[in-house]
A and B are shown apart, each in its own frame.
Chain A
Amino acid sequence: MQKNCIYLDNNATTKVDPEVVEAMLPYLTDYYGNPSSMHSFGGQVKKAVNQAQEQVAALLGADESEIIFTSGGTEGDNAAIRAALLAQPDKRHIITTQVEHPAVLSLCKQLEKQGYSITYLSVNHEGQLDLNELEASLTGNTALVTIMYANNETGVVFPIEQIGVRVKEHGALFHVDAVQAVGKIPMNMKTSTIDMLTMSGHKIHAPKGIGALYVRRGVRFRPMLIGGGQQRGRRAGTENVPGVVALGKAAELELLHLEEATARERKLRDRLEQTIIATIPDCQVNGHSTQRLPNTTNIGFKYIEGEAILYLLNQYGICASSGSACSSGSLEPSHVLRAMGLPYTILHGSIRFSLCRYTTDAEIDTVLAVMPGIVERLRALSPFKNDEASWLQERSMVISH
């Protein structure tokens, strides 16, 4: 395994910040008490959990009592959706989008089988929603609208507050999967329309297996995990204390760096993207040009295939992604890019580069230096050279005996 890679896959996961490691270590060694215990040994630990709650709340502009620690994004999404449905048993309609993370989409598919009706809002070729379509889908029967803040594959950011206003007019609950957006977009739950918001630790330089769910005070919440009375009955189970402490520290650092780090990432990302587009023919950026996370670019290279690009990049120690990591074993191109209606020439050859505050100028230089050669090399191998090249479509059903 390479250690010193050029890591441009930060939307998949991030490096744990050394300060975060330092903060959590004592809770794996010296301070191993149970935060629910009555003795002072446990009490010390309880304090650390409370502090982490404050740190996370500060990053979200929320109150610490509104933070529930979870095991990560998937649990947060599942808990929020199920809670919203349990709290309003009479309402049987959910609105989401076609480009959500599988943590939301797969659950919605399952709920559909259980009799819920689900509206999957479409996106246009820039990955944006049509608010009229949302408006037309909202009814008195809508229990929940669950929409991601920013897309993990393209970085496209949805107009969350504009959506929230419409959702509130119809009396539905509003859940936002903000796993990709937290730490990259300033959040203020005090002035927001969001009822519940999911975040995940390992996308913001905390370890994997810890996350948080914001639940607005006053929103009726039915827990998914039932057992002891931890987290005021809203999520049973002894807290993952080292993880919780780590998440708190990571949130504190994220807030500290947010402005300057995102400005830097945006500059690096723009240089990467613009130089690639300017120097390599037949490629395009997938997703809206401005309503996008500052750290993400998804570029489609025509006539070549994503995995082959990744393996060649890997030779130079460069880590990127060809779609979302969770679905990379699948045979079909990314559901997000497909929902955007991109042509097949782009779909199969799209690469996502996602940056973080550790990304350097020199790393971007390296990518820019090797990328043209990689694309040229694979195009020399490819039978497709231009857009008429759907030649094989007809012939894909070969001889049968």
Chain B
Amino acid sequence: MWDYTDKVLELFYNPKYQGVIEDKGEAGVKVAVGEVGSIACGDALRLHLKVEEDTEKILDARFQTFGCTSAIASSEALVELIKGKTLDEALRVTNKEIANYLGGLPEAKMHCSVMGQEALEAAIYNYRGIPLDVHKDDDEGALVCTCFGISDAKIRRVIVENNLTTAEEVTNYVKAGGGCGSCLATIDDIIASVQKESATPVSTSANHSNERSSVKPLTPVQKIALIQKVLDEEVRPVLIADGGDVELFDVEGDRIKVVLQGACGSCSSSTATLKIAIESRLRDRVSKDLVVEAV
């Protein structure tokens, strides 16, 4: 038997939020569904969200899960974590938070928490009308693990978000490599490339955080310069590749105002772009209190 925490077992044995939310056409309320996984993989989760349209608040959430003990417990934990949050707040829930809520998961079962976070994202993207397969043709989305249908992008993301350093860890988190094993070498390459990419920015941010925490906080000029640098070096190239762009408009304390351009300005995913691509990156690199707004 696995070494599950009491919390995992408690949520598995007594799930409260299983089921579906039907769209009854209530005024001001929208129901969105997100699905991840497959029966072939042995894990699947369908998440239903009931969202108040004005405030984008999650009024209710339900799940349907095919999977093991910890997959079911992770689904339950996810619902408990996001109920009452706005969609933007919910988007910031990471798989780590799901695992922490459960008092931890065995390493080999971390993929259950990742599945929870992905289903949430899928549901929010559906709510916002962002097509799920929008990046499918990107080079980044290339299929790496055919046994479990895992893309390069997903592997990169889980490596970055959870500081993974070995292929074995990647397998624990997203299953990739846990089948025939023929993709393990590619996973090693991805890890190496992520480490290379992050080497410079990480040391930069480490320097800055040292500066911030130890001696002197950033002056307003330094802060703006750093924001500009992160936008130019880390954010804009990604947006430009997608046919969009971003320009720094103003900085008022911790409120960063930006102008989204090109595809980013008109595309329905602009909120997600703001939150995921820009805000979280700036929080990571400059200050965790930053809020990004479009003007």
Contacts and interface: CB of A to CB of B under 8 A. Distances in A.
Interface stretch (B24-32, B67-75, B209-217, B246-254): B67-75
B154 A397 contact: yes
Contact of A397 (B43, B147, B150, B175): B150
B39 interface: yes
Given A332-B178, A382-B66, A401 B13 contact: no
A384 interface: yes
Nearest to B138: A400
Interface residues of B, number: 57
A29 interface: no
Interface string B152-196: 111001000000000000010001001100000000000000000
B121 A399 contact: yes
B121 A400 contact: no
Nearest to B111: A331
B118 interface: yes
A362 interface: no
A256 interface: no
A383 B175 contact: no
Contact of A305 (B40, B67, B134, B175): B67
Contacts of A329: 108
Residue among A329, A344, A345, A395 with the most chain B CB within 10 A? A395
Interface in A374-401: 380-384, 389-401
Residue among B18, B72, B108, B157 with the most chain A CB within 10 A? B72
B132 A401 contact: no
Contacts of A347: 42
A311 B147 contact: no
B43 to A, nearest CB: 8
A114 interface: no
Nearest to A345: B39
B258 interface: no
B65 interface: yes
A330 B132 CA distance: 30
Interface string A295-323: 00000000111111001101100000000
Contacts of B152: 400
A400 B65 contact: no
Given A314-B1, A330-B178, A308 B36 contact: no
Contacts of A308: 12, 67-69, 71-72
B140 interface: yes
A175 interface: no
Interface in B92-138: 108, 118, 121-122, 125, 130, 132-136, 138
A399 B120 CA distance: 11
A333 interface: yes
Nearest to B36: A398
A305 B35 contact: no
A381 B157 contact: no
Nearest to B276: A401
A32 B147 CA distance: 54
Contacts of A303: 66
A345 B66 CA distance: 11
A401 B275 CA distance: 12
A389 B66 CA distance: 12
Contacts of A393: 38-40, 149
B154 A390 contact: no
B125 A399 contact: yes
B140 A400 contact: yes
B84 interface: no
A101 interface: no
Contacts of B277: 401
Residue among A333, A395, A396 with the most chain B CB within 10 A? A396
B154 A398 contact: yes
A348 interface: yes
A399 B122 contact: yes
Contacts of A345: 39
Given A330-B178, A390-B38, A397 B141 contact: yes
Contacts of A312: 13
B127 to A, nearest CB: 13
A332 B179 contact: yes
B135 A380 contact: no
Interface of A: 303-308, 311-312, 314-315, 329-333, 344-345, 347-348, 380-384, 389-401
Given A303-B66, A383-B45, A400-B153, 14 more contacts: A308-B68, A311-B1, A329-B108, A332-B178, A380-B18, A381-B18, A381-B64, A383-B46, A383-B65, A393-B38, A397-B151, A398-B154, A399-B121, A399-B122
Q: Please give me the 8 A-B residue pairs with the lowest Cβ-Cβ distance, nearest first.
A: A400-B153, A331-B178, A383-B64, A307-B68, A392-B38, A396-B149, A393-B38, A383-B46
